Amino acid sequence: MAEYKLEVTTGNMTNAGTFDHVFATLIGTGGKSERTELDNYGVDFKTGKVRTIQSSPSQVLSLGKLLLVKLEKDPFLVLPEDEWYCSKVVVTTPEGEVVLFPCYRWISRGELVELRGGRGLLQNTHRLLSINIFGYYLFSHIFILLFPASAMKVFEDDHSLLVDHRRNEMMQRKSFYQYVLIHVIVPIAILPEYVAEHWKEDDFYGFQFLNGVNPSMIKRCSELSQNFPVTEEMVKPFLEEGTSLQNEMKKGNIFIYDQKKMDGIPARLYDGETLHVTGGLCLFYLNPENKLMPIAIQLHQQPSEENPIFLPSDLETDWLLAKMFIKNADSMDHQAVHHLMNTHFLTEVYTVATLRCLPVIHPIYKYGPFIIHIPENSSNINCNCKVLAIDFLSLGHAGLMELMRRSFSEVTYSSLCLPENIAARGLESIPNFYYRDDGLKLWDVISRFALDTYYSDVHKDTELQDWISEIFTHGFIGNKASGFPASFHTVKEVTKFITLVIFTSTAQHAAVNNGQFDYYSWPPNVSILLHKPPPTTKGQSSMTTILETLPNVGETAGLIAMVPFGTYPEEQFDEPAPKQMIEEFQAKLSFLTDEIAARNSQLEVPYTYLIPNQMENSVTI
């Protein structure tokens, strides 16, 4: 009879091994083997060990092309539950072919696990390779943001996407903040002391809108709107001598931050009083020293006597308060929209569609530690964002939901694709924009890490078409005006979308997540909670006013938290071509890491959030 050799690898984590009985069945195009116990005398499945077994299929001379390995685990005697973490199974056929079957999961008693081979295959290669269907978890669905307020009850539900039972149980046993305190180390926090020293300075204020935690809002201004009546006389003292506001707008040196989507959103109640969030505007000037300077601030959208335009020449505390209220609104937008919605929630949409539509043998599934890892790490993080909404932000639950509804209605495919986003905002040439510089290089590296190996005609890949259709229908509400693809017609289209998915869950998340401690840990610089209302007149404030406006120590909170980007800790591929592509991808990321490090060594404030070896491989916090 033909012999098949199985090498079964147990994970390296604590308690990964098991005393239980483990059984394997091999299934191929020519039949299946007997259910064979993978057992010798003694403990077979120790942590980090490889177990080799000879399996002889009965009644079948050859199994043909191997398709599946079925693993089962039964109890040994009456010992308590003893979960086993299987990393992979490698099968050597009688013909000498070596086939990888990735697992990388915990297996419980009585559970039957089907492992598919490590080669990326298009189409339903064999009907035995069935897909496990995941239901959509409505909280994670972005489409709920457009529903009436009554539909937002799902935000209160404590559901979770049950991808890794053990990890979810661990998360449920700890409160959200215990988890953060235990697991969030701060190796990337390099700026808090600098921020505390320079937070009042206007050039550092402007720097943060390009290279801080929310670099996605500022844009070039060629004409002022009527609701922001800044005059030449107001800003002339802050411009280069001999020029004018109109001339500087023509030169492309005037930029605007406009938080109009925040206008009219109610803030939450705090100790019986309503807090305040302003949908303001801030005008910036790129001076001859290439520093981005704020030169005018209006805290509400509609001009009036009680809504003055604040200037750098005003009373110091007036100007500080105006800047603080702009940054407070920016922090709401950053946390709710650019961080939570545009990275966490969107990545969950991509993930659930992947789990529903693609078998694990599909190349997109295999290329995606950037996609697939999010539910097991962050579903509880996403659920518990309501803790932040209610307990720490100026906007409460209802306000944040309204902000996300409004923001999502403006989301387009182009706005999420970095090259198009930068061009649309007119920021292609503004100097010292390190988020753009590093981000565009990463976008290019990721886009070259493509799927050309597998595709000649994307129309024939029905699983791929189902995947993008699910994303378009359930993630983007079938909104054709958004520009999101509902189907794929060319390899180029597939490559662009996969680039977006990988960039969103790695680089973009790093850009809006990793600097939180740096910039939020000094509350006067950016506070997510302000107590007093914004000033309505000039000359009435003092440092006491500022202290009364800021949160107290107990209210001050920051979140930050890292597998490095571009690594595949789980061996999912079995072919030379994608393995070579991964090596080339990692080499380019390594080169970019060195390039950024060299630049940062010359900067007073280094930009570190898009250094590849300091970015996570997927969204985890």
With 70 as the cut, is the pLDDT of residue 578 above it? Answer: no
Alpha-carbon radius of gyration of the chain: 27
Per-residue pLDDT reduced to its tens digit, 549-560: 888 765 654 333
For the chain, the first-to-last Cα distance in angstroms comes to 52
* Residue 621 pLDDT level (bands cut at 50, 70, 90): low
* Residue 420 pLDDT level (bands cut at 50, 70, 90): very high
Look at residue 588 and give its three-state secondary structure: helix
For residue 419, the model assigns a pLDDT of 97
Which of 264-278, 326-340, 343-357, 369-383 is most confident? 326-340
- Measure CA 202 to chain center: 30
CA distance 397 to 270: 13
Determine which of 32-36, 84-88, 373-377, 499-503 has the lowest per-residue pLDDT on average: 373-377
Per-residue pLDDT reduced to its tens digit, 103-146: 878 888 878 888 877 565 555 444 344 334 344 433 333 333 33
Q: What is the mean pLDDT of residues 469-488?
A: 92
Return all residues near 153 (Cβ < 8 A) that are at least 6 apart: none
Q: Is the pLDDT higher at 572 or at 516?
A: 516
Which of 50-54, 80-84, 338-342 is most confident? 338-342
Strand 269-270, strand 273-274: pairing: antiparallel
- % pLDDT > 70, the chain: 73
- % pLDDT > 90, the chain: 36
Per-residue pLDDT reduced to its tens digit, 96-105: 888 888 887 8
Instruction: Give one word for 530, left, alpha or beta, with left for phi > 0 and alpha for psi -120 to 50.
Output: beta
**H helix intervals, 32-183:** 165-173, 176-183
Mean pLDDT for the chain overall: 78
For residue 51, the model assigns a pLDDT of 67
Q: What is the mean pLDDT of residues 553-571?
A: 47
**H helix intervals, 430-552:** 434-448, 462-470, 491-503, 509-513, 516-520, 543-549
What is the length of the chain? 621
Strand order across the beta sheet in which 84-92 lies: 50-55, 4-10, 84-92, 98-107
Determine which of 13-17, 480-484, 566-570 has the lowest per-residue pLDDT on average: 566-570
For residue 559, the model assigns a pLDDT of 35
* Residue 163 pLDDT level (bands cut at 50, 70, 90): very low
* Residue 467 pLDDT level (bands cut at 50, 70, 90): very high
pTM score > 0.75 for this model? no
Q: What is the mean pLDDT of residues 531-551?
A: 91
Tally DSSP H helices, then E strands, for the chain: 22, 16
Interior CA angle at 415 toward 354 and 610, to 5°? 75
For residue 330, the model assigns a pLDDT of 95
The annotated binding site for Fe cation is made up of 339, 344, 509, 621
Return all residues near 251 (Cβ < 8 A) that are at least 6 apart: none
CA distance 108 to 197: 54
Determine which of 41-55, 177-191, 504-518 has the lowest per-residue pLDDT on average: 177-191
Sketch out the chain's domains with CATH numbers. 4-116 (2.60.60.20), 162-621 (1.20.245.10)
Q: What is the mean pLDDT of residues 580-608?
A: 82
CA distance 465 to 265: 39
Interior CA angle at 404 toward 401 and 408, to 5°? 140
Q: Is the pLDDT higher at 126 or at 350?
A: 350
The total of other beta-carbon atoms located within 10 Å of residue 300's CB is: 19
Per-residue pLDDT reduced to its tens digit, 222-262: 999 999 999 999 999 999 999 999 999 999 999 999 999 99
With 70 as the cut, is the pLDDT of residue 451 above it? Answer: no
Closest Cα partner for 351 from 321, 324, 382?
Answer: 382
For residue 94, the model assigns a pLDDT of 84
Look at residue 375 and give its three-state secondary structure: helix
The annotated binding site is made up of 17, 39-40, 82, 339, 344, 509, 621
With 70 as the cut, is the pLDDT of residue 364 above it? Answer: yes
For residue 354, the model assigns a pLDDT of 86
* Residue 542 pLDDT level (bands cut at 50, 70, 90): very high
Determine which of 286-300, 445-459, 516-530 has the lowest per-residue pLDDT on average: 445-459
For residue 205, the model assigns a pLDDT of 97
Q: Is the pLDDT higher at 388 or at 609?
A: 609
Query: Long-range contacts for 596-604 (Cβ within 8 Å, ≥24 apart)?
Result: 596/438, 599/434
Q: What is the mean pLDDT of residues 351-361?
A: 82
Return all residues near 515 (Cβ < 8 A) that are at least 6 apart: 188, 191, 212, 213, 609
The annotated binding site for Ca(2+) is made up of 17, 39-40, 82
Look at residue 293 and give its three-state secondary structure: strand
For residue 53, the model assigns a pLDDT of 67
